[in-house]
Every structure is written in structure tokens, then in C-alpha cells.
Structure 1
Amino acid sequence: MEKKSKIIILILAILIVIGISTHLFLTPSTVENSGAKNVTDMLGRNIEIPQSLNKVVATSPPMTTVVYMLAPEKLTALNFQWTDSEKVYVPSKYHGLPNIGGWYGTQDGSYEEFIASEPDIVIESIDESGDGNLSTVNERQSKFGKIPVVAVRDTTHVEKVDESILFIGEVIGAKGNAQKLVDFNDKYLDEVHKKSAQLSDKDKKTVYYAEGNDGLKTNPSGSVHGQLIDLVGGKNVANSSSQGNTSSGVQVSIEQVIKWNPDIIITTDPDFYAKVYNDSSWSSINAVKNHEVYLSPQSPFKWFDRPVGANIIIGVPWTAKVIYPDKYTDIDMVSVTKEFYSNFYHYDLSDEQAKEILLGSGLKETNL
């Protein structure tokens, strides 16, 4: 009997050991138990971030825009201030997000204000060259202390943005929305790649990108700011070989624009658009004579430029319809606009609202 009892005790002891081992095997690591996980950012840095992120800030508008598009409820601050016209297409619960600046063109970021917004992580934009990226990110990390800084490759090129969108979606817990945005982007990139490749040089329309309220600043071909013209097969009259490929833009004279005599003019400046048809100095230009001047939709983010980022994804089909409406009759811009705003700007447009945005950009109703 005593032998039998010992066997039973031994069996129970073995079962207890197995149970403890199984529990330890199935229980997440201590990092995950503490509510954290490790990620490798786009500089190859291994960083510990919270398992569940609820507050996110970014140091530049393009990155902030991606976070807003994927998970606006997690965005705790902006690098800019919404204008009244932009707020029309922004759900009211996001109107009060504070502007804490950032480190990009304006270099007006405040570490104190960033930290005061109590983010779980800070997303820092890095450029493709790699020059200075690591030192900049390390400086940010030292200033932010225990708040993890995650480096993400810049999202300024619409043809290269997918990887960064998917990475941000993975990090902030918005994989589904990230994939949906990438699928939308790829759909129209594939279409314009196919159709622009079929254009002969003589079939390409000439386009001038008018910047500033006088329209006399531009960005040449090859510039990130005019990338949608190149992408859809338009011929930018400001050729980069003669104007210089600069991201800051170049000044030109009205005499030069008249000499170029573009078929199409695209602008992001409402003041210029409002007066160009009544300005005699522009009246001899084909684009003006033929009523082919177009204003990028503005709200809540511009579709064509400034900033260049995920917001210009919807600018791909829009620019295609602007320059080659007869080649893109299969694109219903009313439906496309409603889909994009609902899924990524979190604002449901009516048909009439979508038409108002598109007609306000200069598109003809027959080309919507």
C-alpha cells in the first residue's frame, strides 16, 4: 500500500511539473507581460514600444497625415493648425487637436510640448539618402527620454509610400486600414502606369504647375512637388534639365510661361485660381483660353502637393482625369472621392458634396 501511495505521489508531482512547464511555455515573455514589445524601425534600430498604443505623435506633417488616415483616434497632436475650411471635412472630435509644431520646413517643434502631449511613441521621418538620419534620431531620442522614437522612411513619393504605410500600420495597430490604403494606391498607380506608358511623345499634354498667388513659381519635372504630372504622363513645361530639380521651387516670369504656352495649368493656390481667368497677362495662354486651369482640392489635405505624402494618393486619379479625361472615362471620381474620404478621412460625403469638391477644382461635370 505504501509503495502504491509513493507511486501516486510521484505521478502527481510529475503532473504538477508538467503543468508549471506548460504554463511557462505558453505565457508571453516578460517583455510582453509588462505591456511592451520589440520592433525594428526603418533605420534598423531595435526599440521597445508599448504592446498597445493609444497616443501617437509624429514630427512632420506627412507622417502625421498617415497616422490620421489610419487611426485618427490615436493621434494626440498635430504639426499644423486646421483651417476653418479644412475642418469642414474633419470630424468635430478631432478639431481640438493641439498644434505642437515639428521638425521639417518650419523647424518649430517644441520638445516640451511634444512630451506634454504624453505620447506612447514619437514617429520621426527619415529621408532616403540616410545622411544624418541616425544622428538626428539619436538626438530626438535623447530629448524624449523614455518615450520611444520610431524612425520611418519618408512618405513623400507616392510610388514608394506603401512600405511606410504598412510599417506605420503594423506599429500603431492599424494593419487593416494600412492595407486598405495601400490597395487603393496600387489600384490607381497600376492604371496610370499602364496608360501613361501607351502615350507617344506627341500625344502628351504640356502642363505648368503654378505656385504662389501670382502663379509665377513652379517646380520642374523630376521634383517631388510636381510628381503627379510626371506620373500620369504629362509633360512638365519646366524641364528639370534647364530649370534645376529643386524641392523649393523656382521663380519664373509671365513671359516665360507665355512662351511655354501650356495646355494645362494646375495650381494649389486658391487666390491665383480665383483671378487667373480675369488677368489679362495670362489670357493668351492656351490653358486659360481653353478653360483648362485646375485647383487641387484643399481639404482636409491638398490632393496634389504641400504636403507631399499619403494625402496625394487621391491626387493620382484626379490628376489623370485633369490631364487626360478621355483616357480615364472608367474612373468615376464622385465614387472615388466618397470612398477615399470615408475610409481614410473618416468623413462620409454625399454625392453632392463630392461633386462640389470636384467641380470646385475645375473638373467639368462631364468628366467626373
Structure 2
Amino acid sequence: MDLSRTENGKRILTSILTICILSVFCVCSYASPTENTNQSGGFSITDLSNREISLPGPVSRITSLNPTPTYMAWRLAPDKMTSIDMVSKALTYMLSPEDQKKVLALPVTGVYFKGLNNEQIISLKPDVVVTLTKDPNIDKEQDTFNIPVAAVDKDTLDSFADSYRFMGKLLGNEKEGDELGDYWDDLIKKVTSQVSTIPESKKLKVYYAGGSPDSTTGSKTIISSVIRDAGGIVYPDAVTLTADPSDETIKVPVEDVLKWNPDVIITHSSNLSSQIKTDSAWKDTSAVKNNRVYSIPKYAIPDGITAAIGLVWAADTLYPEQTQLDYKKEIRDFYQNFLQVSDLTDEQISQEN
């Protein structure tokens, strides 16, 4: 055997392999960045209004202009919050006493639908500001703040899950954002799989009264979405309203509601329930005659971050005999997962708004 030729062959083969490995390494090292990141550490992300948001780097400070993103941020990245909005401040009763103190120690900002102090928002120096898709001034706010403004969606139950996932990516906690989104989806499916067996002819007509007996919500709002997914026929689906369907406060003629004759009336407060029950104008409605006027529960408001557990309450309230839902267990599990409260009492669970 010619050893010199064998050794030369080995050297050549080794050289070829080395060149191939280096080539692969170079290609991998200089591959173009993904569509969401760049080589300087910045990234882009598409929000729930389908707007592409560009950020120079990881988010370490966030300001929110609505309770939904405020509490999502608190759950996913509390140390990154620069403030709490004025409406969220009134909802801190949902948190543990320890967490209430932490949240209430933050500066309080306005909300997009009641007015903002632009200078205050800028002074907080957030990396990103988060609002809702229904905020009509998103682009204007972004120009005014000179800060990226992103949006989450709360108009339907399904949109909350995607909003949690989005906030997880935005705040660098994708794992928990995905887990909460999946939990939300699973809870909705648990309810809708049961009420879907109710025949259309057996479904109840439900009127939701907001701040007054003649105030309801549009068909494209979270309240209507909850009642619809709970198996109810919502008033704005059954009649023609001229107002924006995404409007959460729509004035309607009481005589039209009385003519529709709802089977169930759900109100925003116990005071409003009492008002309707004792008002002679409503006495002939099926809801009043059958004692089916309810006020929403304080700890399961069918809006915002408690909308999914509000769905459980609504389905259990509308169809207690047709559904097999353990509302007390579900609300305790929900609070443990979404609000990190492990000691919700029976008194809190039964408390009306």
C-alpha cells in the first residue's frame, strides 16, 4: 500500500470537509433576519388591529390606555408597568390585598375614551403604549407621543385569547401568554359545547341594560358576545339599531324593548335590577313576571378580563338545567390563573355589581 497517497487523500478529504463546514457556518451566521427581528435587536409585531408595530428592542416599560391591556400587562409582566389607568384603579378589588397595594402605588393615567394627559404619557417614558382596536385615535396618539402604540381587541370573547398571546410576545413572556390564551379558549369551548345543544326555538331572549333601562350595547360588543355564546338571543341581534354596532352605550326606546318582551333581563347593577323590577312599565314582561331579572356579578363581569368567567355565569344563569357547569369551581380556577388570587370567598362569588 502507498502510504503517501493514503495520507494525501486524507488531507484532501479533511480540507474539503473543513471548507464545507465553514461554508455552512457562514451561511447560517449571515442568514437574513426573520420578519419579526433585526440584527440590532429590534423587532416588529403585528397587533390585533393588523398594524405592524416596530420596536427598537425588548420592551421593559409599558403604559396602557384601557383596563384590558392594563391587567394583561399586570399578569404577564408586572415589573414593566409604568402606570395604571383610571378605570383599572376602580377594579383593583379583584386583586389580592398585597397586589392591590403594588398596583395602586403606580401613577394613574387617563383612558383613551375619557381623555388623556399627553405630557404625562410621554413623561412615563414607556417603550410601548397599548390601547384597544376600537380606539379611534391610535395613529394620532402614536404621532403625539412619538412612541409605538399597539392595540389589543376585546370586542368578542375569541379575541381575548389572541390578545393574551400578543401581549405575551410583546412583553417577552410568550409562554404564559400562550397558556392563558389556551385556557381562555378551552373555557369558552366548555360552555359553548353545552349550550349548542339547545334548540333555537328554546333559546331565551335576553335584554342587557347598561347604565339605565333604556341603555344597551351594540351587537359587536363583548357583552353581546358573552350573552350570544351563552345561548341567549341578544336584543341588538333581533332588532334593527341605527347606532354603531360596536358602541357599548346605545339608547333605545323602552317601548320597543317592552314590545320585544325579553325572557331575561341582565343589568349592569343591582340598583338597576331593582328599578326595573319595581317599575310598572316593565311588569308585564316575561322577565319580570318570571322573576328573571339579574344583575351581573361583581367578580365575574362579562366584560374585560373577566369576560370568560362571565360567560360561565351567564350560561349557568340562563340554562341551569341544560348545562353542567360548576360556576364556583370555575371562577376560583379562573382567578387563580388570571389574577393570581387563590382565596376567593363564597361571599365574593355571590356579590352583585
Aligned residue for 2:68? 62
Distance 1:278 1:80 in 2: 34
Distance 1:156 1:211 in 2: 16
Cα–Cα, structure 1 residues 284 and 124, in superposed 2: closer, same or farther, change >3 Å? Answer: closer
SS of residue matched to 1:173? coil
Distance 2:236 2:54 in 1: 44
Contact 1:166 1:178 in 2 (8 A): yes
Alpha-carbon distance, 1:137 to partner = 4.8
Aligned residue for 1:38? 43
Aligned residue for 1:259? 259
Counterpart of 2:214 (choices 207, 213, 216) is 216
Contact 1:295 1:360 in 2 (8 A): no
Aligned counterparts, 1:77-226, within 5 A: 77-82=83-88, 86-87=92-93, 89-90=95-96, 91=99, 92-103=101-112, 105-106=113-114, 108-127=115-134, 137-145=138-146, 147=147, 149-212=148-211, 214-219=212-217, 221=219, 223-226=221-224
Distance 1:200 1:126 in 2: 34
Distance 2:270 2:301 in 1: 13
Letter in 2 for 1:321: D
Distance 2:81 2:215 in 1: 34
Alpha-carbon distance, 1:56 to partner = 1.0
> Larger deviation: 73-82 or 200-209?
73-82
Letter in 2 for 1:202: S
Contact 1:41 1:150 in 2 (8 A): no
Instruction: Normalising by structure 2, report the TM-score.
Output: 0.76
Residues matched between the structures, number: 317
Asked if 1:346 is matched to 2:340, the reply is: yes
Map Cα deviations across residues 144-179 of structure 1 (whole Å, 9 max, x no partner). Answer: 33x4x1423523221233222211111102223212
Letter in 2 for 1:37: G
Distance 1:72 1:217 in 2: 35
Alpha-carbon distance, 1:324 to partner = 1.2
Letter in 1 for 2:181: V
Cα–Cα, structure 1 residues 61 and 67, in superposed 2: closer, same or farther, change >3 Å? Answer: same
Instruction: Normalising by structure 1, report the TM-score.
Output: 0.73
SS of residue matched to 1:102? coil
Letter in 1 for 2:268: T
Map Cα deviations across residues 213-270 of structure 1 (whole Å, 9 max, x no partner). Answer: x4222235455442212122212245454334632313222x4444333221111133
Distance 1:271 1:264 in 2: 17
Alpha-carbon distance, 1:45 to partner = 3.1
Cα–Cα, structure 1 residues 218 and 32, in superposed 2: closer, same or farther, change >3 Å? Answer: closer
Map Cα deviations across residues 102-142 of structure 1 (whole Å, 9 max, x no partner). Answer: 32x22x11221112223232224335xxxx98xx5554333
Letter in 2 for 1:322: T
Identity of aligned residues (%): 24
Letter in 2 for 1:342: Q
Asked if 1:320 is matched to 2:320, the reply is: no
Asked if 1:47 is matched to 2:46, the reply is: no
Aligned residue for 1:15? none
Counterpart of 2:330 (choices 333, 336, 341) is 336
Letter in 1 for 2:302: F
Alpha-carbon distance, 1:69 to partner = 3.6
SS of residue matched to 2:42? strand
SS of residue matched to 1:242? coil
Distance 2:236 2:177 in 1: 35
Contact 1:266 1:295 in 2 (8 A): yes
Aligned residue for 2:14? none
Aligned residue for 2:10? none
Contact 1:215 1:272 in 2 (8 A): yes
SS of residue matched to 1:233? coil
Contiguous gaps of at least 5 residues in structure 1: 1-17, 363-368
Alpha-carbon distance, 1:284 to partner = 3.3
Map Cα deviations across residues 54-89 of structure 1 (whole Å, 9 max, x no partner). Answer: 321123333223223433332221232456674363
Contact 1:40 1:46 in 2 (8 A): yes
Cα–Cα, structure 1 residues 82 and 201, in superposed 2: closer, same or farther, change >3 Å? Answer: closer
SS of residue matched to 2:294? strand
Distance 1:172 1:311 in 2: 21
Contact 1:218 1:252 in 2 (8 A): no
Contact 2:76 2:173 in 1 (8 A): yes
Aligned counterparts, 1:230-309, within 5 A: 230-244=228-242, 246=245, 247=247, 248-253=249-254, 255-299=255-299, 303-305=301-303, 309=304
Contact 2:65 2:109 in 1 (8 A): no
Alpha-carbon distance, 1:204 to partner = 0.6
Contact 1:86 1:298 in 2 (8 A): no
Letter in 1 for 2:186: K
Distance 2:130 2:92 in 1: 24
Distance 1:86 1:165 in 2: 19
Alpha-carbon distance, 1:207 to partner = 1.0
